[in-house]
Chain A
C-alpha cells in the first residue's frame, strides 16, 4: 500500500475524501490544478486523477496554479488549486498580485502538513502551519477549516461566493482525508 493511503495512526476521526470530492463537483469545479501534497494525496488527489468528471492539470510549482486558474476564470471555467501549505507560502506573491489585487476567484484547497488535527491551526505544533491563518487574515483572504465531516458543507458556499464576488478563498485541510 502507498504511504499516502495510510491514515494517521492515532486519528479516531474520519474525514472522507469522497465527501470532499462530491462537494468540489457540486461547486461546479471542472479543473483541479495541483502539486502533490501528502495530506491530500491518498484521499483526494489519487481519486481525482481517476475521475473522468474532473480535469487534473499537474503543475511543476504551485504559483503556476494561480495563473492558470486566473486564465480559466476569464473563460467562465471554475478551478480548484490543490496544494500543500508550503506551496501556498511559496506562491504568496502570485496570490497577492492575481488573487487579491486583481480580485480573481482563486480557490485554494491547502493541506496542512504535519498539523495535529486535534488542535487549531493557530495552535499547531508546526510553525509553518501556525502562520497560515494569520497570513490569510493579513491578505484579507477568507478561509475555512475542513477538519471534520460537518466542515465539508462549507466547501460549496465558499467556492460559490468566491466566484460570485470574484475574490480568493482558502480551504484548509486539517487532517488527512480517507480514501473512502
Chain B
C-alpha cells in the first residue's frame, strides 16, 4: 500500500505550471511540498473539488488542471464523473486518493472500502482510467498519466496517514484566491 505524501512527492516531480485543485488532507499534504500560486484550495463544500476543476479546465483549455480529490469527497459528488466525461476536457487529470476513510472528519470509514473508482470513471466515459497501488508502478507511469489527453482518471490506493494539522485559515486565505485569479487571467 502506498502513502499519500509519497505519491504527491512523485507527482510534484512532474508538475510545472499546472493548476492543482485540492482540499482537506490532500491539500495539507500537497501544501507541505511547497507554496505555489497555482494551488486552488478554496473548494467551499466537500465534494466540489472535481467540479471546480472542471470549471477551470473549461475556462482555460490551454492549461492543464489536476484535481487531487479524496475518496470521501468523490462519493459526495459521484455524478461529477458523468458530467466531466460528457464535457470531455482534454486538459483535466482527476486523481482520487483512496484511503477508505473520511480522514479529516475523524477517520471513520467510507461506506465501503471496496469501491472501484477507476472502473466507475471508465464506465462514465473518461478517456483513460488508472488504478495504482504500488509506488514503483506509479513512479514509472506518473509522467505519462499527467500528459495524456483527458479527461484522465487515476486512483491512488493509499493507507490512512498519521495525524495531520488542518490549518484551514491558511488554506482558505483570501490572498491565495486573489493571487490565483490574477495568475489565471494572465495569458497563456
Task: Name A's B-contacting residues (CB within 8 A).
Answer: 31, 55, 57-61, 63-77, 79, 93-94, 96-99, 101-102
Contacts and interface: CB of A to CB of B under 8 A. Distances in A.
Contact of B185 (A31, A67, A68, A76): A76
Q: Is the interface of A mostly helix, strand, loop or mixed?
A: helix
A67 B184 CA distance: 16
Interface of B: 21, 40, 42-45, 47-60, 77, 79-80, 82-83, 86-87, 172, 174, 177, 180-181, 184-185
A94 B59 contact: no
Contacts of B42: 98, 102
Q: Among A57, A65, A75, find the residue whose CB has the most chain B CB atoms closer than 10 A.
A: A75
Contact of A74 (B51, B59, B79, B174): B59
Q: Is the interface of B mostly helix, strand, loop or mixed?
A: helix
B48 A67 contact: yes
B185 A70 contact: no
B48 A64 contact: yes
15 contacts: A57-B58, A63-B45, A63-B77, A67-B52, A68-B52, A68-B54, A70-B52, A71-B56, A72-B55, A73-B55, A74-B40, A74-B177, A96-B45, A97-B43, A102-B177
A22 to B, nearest CB: 23
Nearest to A69: B55
Q: Among B49, B54, B172, find the residue whose CB has the most chain A CB atoms closer than 10 A.
A: B54
A72 B51 contact: no
B87 A57 contact: yes
Contacts of B56: 71-72, 74-75
A93 B45 contact: yes
B43 A74 contact: no
B102 to A, nearest CB: 16
B51 A67 contact: yes
Contact of B59 (A60, A75, A97, A98): A75
Contacts of A74: 40, 55-56, 59, 177, 180-181, 184-185
B59 A72 contact: yes
A39 to B, nearest CB: 22
Given A57-B87, A98-B43, 14 more contacts: A58-B83, A59-B79, A64-B83, A66-B44, A67-B54, A70-B55, A71-B52, A71-B55, A72-B56, A75-B184, A76-B185, A79-B55, A97-B43, A98-B48
Contacts of B40: 71, 74
Contacts of B79: 59-61, 64
Contacts of A58: 83, 86
Given A61-B77, A63-B77, A68 B58 contact: yes
Contact of B51 (A71, A99, A102): A71
Contacts of B184: 74-76
Contacts of A68: 51-52, 54-55, 58
